[in-house]
Chains A and B, each alone.
Chain A
Amino acid sequence: MEWLIFGFLSFWAVLSVMGVLFFRNPVHAILSFLSLILAVAGMFMHLGAELLAGLQLVIYAVAIVVFYVLVITTIPWEKVKRFEGFYKREFFAGFPILIFTFLLISYAILKGEFASLNVATGDNVRDVGKSLFTTYLFPFEVASVILLTAMIGAILLGRKEE
């Protein structure tokens, strides 16, 4: 049963990745990215990370994808037409190298032994929240500064020149 769920989710994810890489139209690429996000949220659910799955849906599928589509609508469509698709020469140069890297890393994963802490876990959301607000409190506060800086930067970049 576990392998059935894994097979379904991974097949879905691989199809969506092919869509992101090879669709000519940017809107179609972003829609297949949305499909990939749903597949990855299912994988998080299967791995027992429920909080991460929910945040993946809220942040990626709602905020980021809508932002991409809004930006695409602001750019005139006939100008985008010139730069659809992908570079063929770079594809044939890069693809074998990346296949080789994938085989190397997957060999290391399949042959390697992983350590095991065996911490007894119960409620995933409670555990993550407890760890986030006690041990990782300072990085959590710094993340708010990162978001504020990104907001100011986006406003500065997006304003009209006088």
Chain B
Amino acid sequence: MTIEKAYLLISIFLFLSGLLGVIIRKNLITLLVSTELMLNGVNLALASIDSILGGVEGQVLALFVLTVAASEVAVGLGLVVALFRLKGYEGSSEITHLRG
């Protein structure tokens, strides 16, 4: 077991914890934080596989993941603020209607 495989295990742990957070958290903002946890796990897996293979392509892909994370935060928090201002929702169990 090399050190890169250990980092891969940590990245799998980060991804699955983010998934668990998306399932169990009640607040919408902490739910978005859990998706950030999943993206961090993917970035860590890409970097450690780069360290195994000796290339840089995984890090380039991780930069694009960072871009997607930034735009996801902007749109997701905009959605949360709009939902709260229009409906007063703040919990993930209250959003049960697509429209209306």
A residues neighboring B (CB under 8 Å): 2-3, 6, 10, 13-14, 17, 20-21, 26, 29-30, 33, 36-37, 40, 43-44, 46-49, 51-52, 55-56, 59-60, 63-64, 67-68, 71-72, 74-75, 79-80, 82-87, 90-91, 94-95, 98, 101-102, 105-106, 109-110, 114-119, 121, 124, 127-128, 131-132, 136, 139, 143, 146-147, 149-151, 153-154, 157-158, 161
A15 to B99, CA, bound (A): 40
Q: A17-B14, A40-B44, A115-B53 are in contact. Are A64 and B70 (CB under 8 A)?
A: yes
Asked if B59 and A51 make an inter-chain contact with CB atoms under 8 angstroms apart, the answer reads: yes
On B, residues with C-beta under 8 Å from A are 1, 3-10, 12-14, 16-17, 19-21, 23-30, 32-34, 36-37, 40, 43-44, 47-57, 59-60, 62-64, 66-75, 77-82, 84, 86, 88, 90-92
Q: Is the CB of B56 within 8 A of A154?
A: no
Residue in B9, B16, B40, B70 whose beta carbon sits within 8 Å of that of A109 in the complex = B9
Q: Given A40-B43, A101-B16, A118-B54 in contact, is the A10-B23 Cβ separation under 8 Å?
A: no
Q: In the complex the two chains form, is A117's CB within 8 Å of B13's CB?
A: no
| A-side contacts of B26, CB under 8 Å | 83-87
Q: List 24 A-B contacts (CB under 8 A).
A: A3-B3, A20-B33, A37-B40, A56-B66, A64-B36, A68-B73, A82-B91, A83-B26, A83-B91, A84-B26, A87-B23, A90-B24, A94-B20, A102-B16, A114-B53, A119-B55, A121-B54, A128-B56, A139-B64, A149-B71, A153-B74, A153-B75, A153-B78, A157-B79
Interface of A is mostly: helix
- Which residues of B sit under 8 angstroms from A119, Cβ to Cβ? 53-55
Having A43-B47, A127-B56, one finds 11 other A-B pairs with CB under 8 Å, namely A21-B20, A21-B25, A30-B33, A33-B36, A47-B7, A52-B47, A67-B74, A71-B77, A98-B19, A106-B9, A143-B64
Shortest Cβ gap from B41 to chain A (Å): 9
- Is A157 a contact of B12 with CB atoms below 8 Å? no
Say yes or no: B51 contacts A47, CB within 8 Å: yes
A10 interface neighbour in B10, B21, B30, B82, Cβ under 8 Å? B10
